[in-house]
Each structure stands twice: as C-alpha cells, then as structure tokens.
Amino acid sequence: AREQALRAATGPGATSDGHAVPLLANLGGPGEVKAALANGAEGVGLYRTEFLFLDRKQPPTGAEQETAYRAVLEAFPGGKVVVRTLDAGADKPLAFLPPQGEEPNPALGERGLRMFRVHPEVMAEQLDALARAAEGLPAQLQVMAPMVATVEEATWFTEACRARGLTSAGVMIEVPAAALRAGDLAAAVDFFSIGTNDLAQYTFAADRQVGALSALQDAWQPALLDLIASAVGEHGRPCGVCGEAAADPVLACVLVGLGVSTLSMSAPSLPAVRAGLAGHTLAQCRAAAEAARAQSTAAGARAAARAALPRLA
Ligand code: PEP
Ligand code: MG
C-alpha cells in the first residue's frame, strides 16, 4: 500500500489497475519547464507558442523560435512534447498579424490555423524552426494546429509538416464540427487533442471571455461530454485532452472513462489528477463516464460521476 501511495504521488499516470494515462503539462515557454518537472509531468501536452509572439511589433525570427522550442524539447528527453502552432486572433491578437478586415466576432474570425491560410509564410517559418529544434534530440516532437474545422484544413497542415520531416502531426478538436467528424479527420492526422475551453465556447455559443456566461463554460455539460465521446470515437488515433477540464480530478477520471489517452494541464494540477486516477480502476472510470452522460444537467453529471468514484467523493 505504501508503494502504491508513493507511485500515486510521483510516478507516471495510471489507473489503480495499471491502465497508463500519461500526464502532461501545458506551458507557454521554457520558463515553465521547471514547475512541470517538479510536478512530475511526463512530457508536454500543449506548448502554447503564441506567448513568444505576443506584445511585439515584429515576429520572432526563426532562430529565436528554434531556441525557445529546443529549450523545452531538451527538458524532456524521451518524453513527448506537443507543440501547438501559433494560435493568434480572438483572445490572443497579434500586432503584426491583424485580420484582413474588421471582425465583429473575433472568436469566429481569422484565428488559429485560419491565420496561416492567409499568411502561409508565418507557418513555414514556424514549422522550419520546429524541425531544426528537434534535430538530433531524443524527445518525441509532435506538432499540432489549433482551430481546425474541416478535413481540408487538417490535410493542408499535416502535409506541410510531413514536407519538413515532422513525423507526428495532429490537430486540436475545439470546434464542434471537428468533434462530430473526428472519424473523417483521423485519416489526415496522427493524433488529436481536445481543447475543452474553446470546444465549450463554440458548443454553447458563449464567449469564454464573458464572465457572466461562465456557467455555459462548464465542461460538465452533458452536451460537451457527448462531443468529447464523439471526438474520441473508434478511429484508432490517440486523442488527448489539453483544456481546463483535464485539471479537475473527477472529470479527469471521466475523460479516461470516455477513452481519452493523455491528459495535459497546468503543472500545479498534476498531483491531484494523478492521485485521483491512481485511486480508481479503468472500469470505475468508464462507469463514472456512463453515469455522467446519462444525466441531463452539468450539476447532475458531476454528482453522478462523484458517486461512482468513491476515492474522490
Ligand atoms: C482550449 O481551447 O481548450 C485550449 C487548450 O486552448 P487555449 O485555451 O489556448 O485556447
Ligand atoms: Mg483553444
């Protein structure tokens, strides 16, 4: 029991019956690596590269980008590091990449991968810098695009990655269309990662920056759980979660029960999620997921899941 408690506190993520769920960190740059390692992150599930681009008049050079990417890759030898390409626009506007026209609804505008369709040279420079950063390192670099809605977008992105020798290319699922049609997208990508923050925003038509609508940003909403189940699907591609939902220990068990393969969160949340998983079997996680989805309200879903997970109740 002592050994089990120790593993629960520091070891790799797993259910009590040994189903591995790698626990990864969300970070915005090399400055956050230390906290990730201190909390036992097994890798990086979301490197938000836009922080390198924010608050500047000129974009960072390719060499500058390479240095920032390499610093994170070097910190996780043998571990997986998922780097998200620039997610500009909406809540993260960039001075040197303004939208082409006025956008009354920036969250529904030229953001994420859509910005790269307008400025492919910015994507080319970022992917080139990533390919150089990973050269000769043992880390497993995975590159993913934000705000993908269609198969054409996913294909365009993964082809650009493959042309540079980037062998693992995936997309975020944060638009309901992508969650509904993950099976079609699967043919174009190597992996998925669900961004529950934006997926909730677009599912409930509730701006994530409007605090008054926060109840509609609740990841326990059964409609969101249904979309997550649809995204995980039976397409055979690994599907992680890197939105805030992964940081809630009860919801983390439910996500694993829905078939999610990895969980990525801000570093301080890792220990509680690790302990929650270690206290339950995969079958209990599945039962909790089923019980939550059988409810019709967010509060009901949370209560039902809690009741099915005795160590977290
Ligand atoms: C998300 O949308 O859930 C996500 C992880 O990305 P971001 O919060 O950076 O938009
Ligand atoms: Mg997002």
Q: State ipTM.
A: 0.99
Ligand 1 pocket mutation, candidates 27, 32, 48, criterion most atoms within 8 A of CB:
48
Q: Rounded to an integer, what distance in angstroms lies between the CA atom of residue 170 and that of residue 135?
A: 19
Query: Ligand 1: does its nearest atom lie under 6 Å from the Cβ of 242?
Result: yes
Protein residue closest via CA to atom 1 of ligand 1? 195
More confident residue, 91 or 165: 165
**pLDDT exceeding 70 applies to what percent of the chain?**
97
Question: Residue 3 has what pLDDT?
Answer: 63
pLDDT at 6: 57
- Residue that the structure tokens 């681009």 belong to: 53
* Angstrom distance (rounded) from CA 125 to CA 159: 15
Question: 77: how many CB neighbours lie within 10 A of its CB?
Answer: 10
Of the pLDDT bands very low, low, confident and very high (cuts 50, 70, 90), residue 98 is confident
Reduced to 3 states (helix: H, G, I; strand: E, B; else coil), residue 146 is coil
Distance of alpha carbon 287 from alpha carbon 81, whole angstroms: 31
**Integer Cα distance of 275 and 95 in angstroms:** 42
What per-residue confidence (pLDDT) applies to 248? 98
- Calpha distance 293→285 (Å, rounded): 12
Q: Quick one: average pLDDT of 178-206? A: 98
Q: Which tokens go with 36?
A: 């990730």
**pLDDT at position 1:** 63
Ligand 1 atom nearest to 193, measured from its CA: 5
pLDDT at 15: 98
Backbone angles phi, psi at 278, to 5 degrees: -65, -20
pLDDT of residue 4: 62
What pLDDT is recorded for position 95? 85
Percent with pLDDT over 90 in the chain? 88
How many other CB atoms are there within 10 angstroms of residue 235's CB atom? Answer: 16
Compute the mean pLDDT over every residue in the chain, rounded to the nearest whole number: 95
Q: What is the reported pLDDT for 9? A: 66
Q: Per-residue pLDDT averaged across 225-248, rounded?
A: 97
Backbone angles phi, psi at 156, to 5 degrees: -60, -45
Tell which one of 92, 174, 192, 244 to mutate to probe ligand 1, the residue whose CB is within 8 A of the most ligand atoms: 174
Q: How far apart are the first and last CA of the chain?
A: 20
Q: What is the DSSP letter of 164?
A: T
Which atom of ligand 1 lies at the shortest distance from residue 194's CA?
A: 3
pLDDT tens digit string along 72-88? 999 999 899 999 999 98
Q: Which SS3 state, helix, strand or coil, does residue 90 take?
A: coil
pLDDT at 226: 98
For the record, the structure tokens of 65 come out as 């980008």
- What kind and span of H or E run contains 265? strand 263-266
Strand, helix or coil for residue 197: helix
User: Does the beta carbon of 50 lie inside 6 Å of ligand 1?
Assistant: no
What does the pLDDT look like over 39-60, one tens digit per residue?
Answer: 999 999 999 999 999 888 888 9
Query: Can you tell me whether residue 33 is helix, strand or coil?
Result: helix
CA–CA distance, 4 with 233 (Å, rounded to integer): 32
- List the residue whose alpha carbon is closest to atom 10 of ligand 1: 198
Greatest CA separation found in the chain?
Answer: 61
Q: How many CA atoms lie within 13 A of 86 on its CB side?
A: 28
Q: Which ligand minimizes its atom distance to the CA of 91? A: 1
DSSP 297: S
| C-alpha closest to that of 217 among 195, 236, 200 | 200
Using pLDDT thresholds of 50, 70 and 90, give the confidence band for residue 139. Answer: confident
Confirm if 84 and 145 have CB atoms less than 8 A apart.
Answer: yes
State the pTM of this model: 0.96
